[in-house]
Chains A and B, each alone.
Chain A
Amino acid sequence: MNDLMNRRDLLKIAGMGVAVFVSGTTVRAGGTQQKENDSFYFVQLSDTHWGFNGSNINPDSQGTLKKAVAAVNALDDQPDFVVFTGDLTQTTDDRKIRRDRMAEFRDIVSQLRVKTVRFIAGEHDASLDRGEAYQEFFGDLHYTFDHNGVHFIVLDNVSDPMAAVGEKQLQWLQADLQQQKDNARIVVLTHRPLFDLAPDWDWATRDGAAVIESLLQHQNVTVLYGHIHQEHHHMTGHIAHHSAKSLMWALPVAGSVPKKAPIPWSAVEPYKGLGFRNIEAHVPQGRYTIEEFPISKGE
């Protein structure tokens, strides 16, 4: 175990091909850990819910996203790119307010030093108008991109308010996968869990099983998502699924309380449960290291 691992609270998740670090600092130890050849890292932020207002849930609703942007900018070793895995904005019935929130969100994240930023829609962004406003501001709802030997697939499981990917997108996915080698390094970015994490809490994708079945044809697939406002790690066959924390409020573990509701703000532990994370891709090994960062008051 190297020094970096010794200094941190390392959570190893058996059989998942991933190591998760919980870091007490937002300064990535890039200076002490040499990046491997053929590896790179990116940052995942999620569920920023810009426009949310609820002082008992997050009295710093106007400041948390900005703190996260500042924290990412403060990383010694800047990531290759940043991804936002959905619920960029808080939903609203008002078309103008929806666009105002998206414009404000876009302005804030334009302050990131990293200029390659990938967006994924959440149901709060896209379900009420089937992604119309989202696409005006952030582009396509589903797409692919490649980076240093990893094939990224962005899936939309939110613009259909019934939380489905849909047959058309599924065919598009299958056509894309056919172009990839069996052992291609594939990372899926999406908002909702693709597996039935907790359907009664709306933590599922209606046709997620069909998506997973398609992905299982490839040997090295990892899914990164948001929506559930907490870390969660799960395997479906050989596919690893990792959810990210929110940058607005935390949610309880599924089934731990009778009714799903945001965890109230703690004056003793402000920003508890909120954060972002780095994902380092070790491309030759097809392995990923996740490093979690909290949000703190002074940042």
Chain B
Amino acid sequence: MNKLVIFLVATTVGYLSQQSVVRSTATEIGNEEQIIRISASTFEFKPSEFTVKRGVPVLLELTSQDRHHGFKLSAFELRADITPDVVEKVRFVPDKIGRFTFLCDVFCGDGHEDMSGTITVIE
């Protein structure tokens, strides 16, 4: 297999403000495409936190479990619609380190305002 697939370990780390946070940590980050699968549902992303390596291409595979959601990551000028039964693929190369917020930008209901997550970019 030409492509090194990064295996992600999704771990539920606890409860924060009555909302579970699922954090994904790359067990190995190489120099080939990093694949992150994110599931959206009212009103959370799973995982809501993940880590990638700067300069290494990232493929986001976005799916929805229920309704139309959005994915917006302003720090890298990314956005996509996430609709049920469709795997939305978004590619980018993180070119700066830090923690960046992504959010749902399609109004999806009473918990919409809380539907966000964090991407951490490391060296």
Interface residues of A (CB under 8 A from B): 90-93, 123, 127-128, 158, 161-163, 199-200, 202, 259-261
**Once the chains bind, are A91 and B110 in contact (CB under 8 Å)?**
yes
For the complex formed, measure the closest distance between the CB of B71 and the CB atoms of chain A, giving whole angstroms: 12
**Once the chains bind, are A163 and B105 in contact (CB under 8 Å)?**
yes
Nearest to A92 among chain B residues (CB) is B110
Q: What residues of chain B lie closer than 8 Å to A93, measured between beta carbons?
A: 109-110
For the complex formed, measure the closest distance between the CB of A249 and the CB atoms of chain B, giving whole angstroms: 11
Q: Given the interface contacts A200-B74, A202-B113, A259-B116, does A127 sit within 8 Å of B101 by beta carbon?
A: no
CA distance A261 to B70 in the complex (A): 20
Q: How many A-B residue pairs have CB under 8 A?
A: 38
Q: What residues of chain A lie closer than 8 Å to B101, measured between beta carbons?
A: 200
Asked if B108 is at the interface (CB within 8 A of a chain A CB), the reply is: yes
Nearest to B73 among chain A residues (CB) is A200
Q: What residues of chain A lie closer than 8 Å to B107, measured between beta carbons?
A: 91, 123, 127-128, 158, 161, 163, 202
**B105 contact from A91, A92, A162, Cβ within 8 A:** A162
Total interface residues on B, using CB and 8 Å?
A: 15
**Once the chains bind, are A162 and B70 in contact (CB under 8 Å)?**
yes
**Once the chains bind, are B109 and A200 in contact (CB under 8 Å)?**
no
28 residue pairs bridging A and B, Cβ less than 8 Å apart: A90-B110, A91-B109, A91-B110, A92-B109, A92-B110, A93-B109, A123-B107, A127-B107, A128-B107, A128-B108, A128-B109, A158-B107, A161-B68, A161-B106, A161-B108, A162-B70, A162-B81, A163-B105, A163-B107, A199-B72, A199-B74, A199-B105, A200-B101, A200-B103, A202-B105, A202-B107, A202-B113, A259-B116
Most buried by B among A91, A127, A128, A161: A161
Q: What residues of chain B lie closer than 8 Å to A260, measured between beta carbons?
A: 113
CA distance A123 to B72 in the complex (A): 18
CA distance A259 to B116 in the complex (A): 9
For the complex formed, measure the closest distance between the CB of A260 and the CB atoms of chain B, giving whole angstroms: 7
- CB-CB contacts of B81-123 with A at 8 A, as 1s and 0s? 1000000000000000000010101111110010010000000
Q: What residues of chain B lie closer than 8 Å to A92, measured between beta carbons?
A: 109-110
For the complex formed, measure the closest distance between the CB of B103 and the CB atoms of chain A, giving whole angstroms: 7
Most buried by A among B103, B107, B113: B107
CA distance A133 to B18 in the complex (A): 31
Q: What residues of chain B lie closer than 8 Å to A123, measured between beta carbons?
A: 107
Q: What residues of chain B lie closer than 8 Å to A90, measured between beta carbons?
A: 110
Q: What residues of chain B lie closer than 8 Å to A200, measured between beta carbons?
A: 72, 74, 101, 103
CA distance A272 to B71 in the complex (A): 34
Q: What residues of chain A lie closer than 8 Å to B103, measured between beta carbons?
A: 200, 202
For the complex formed, measure the closest distance between the CB of A177 and the CB atoms of chain B, giving whole angstroms: 28
Nearest to A204 among chain B residues (CB) is B105
CA distance A259 to B113 in the complex (A): 10
For the complex formed, measure the closest distance between the CB of A206 and the CB atoms of chain B, giving whole angstroms: 8
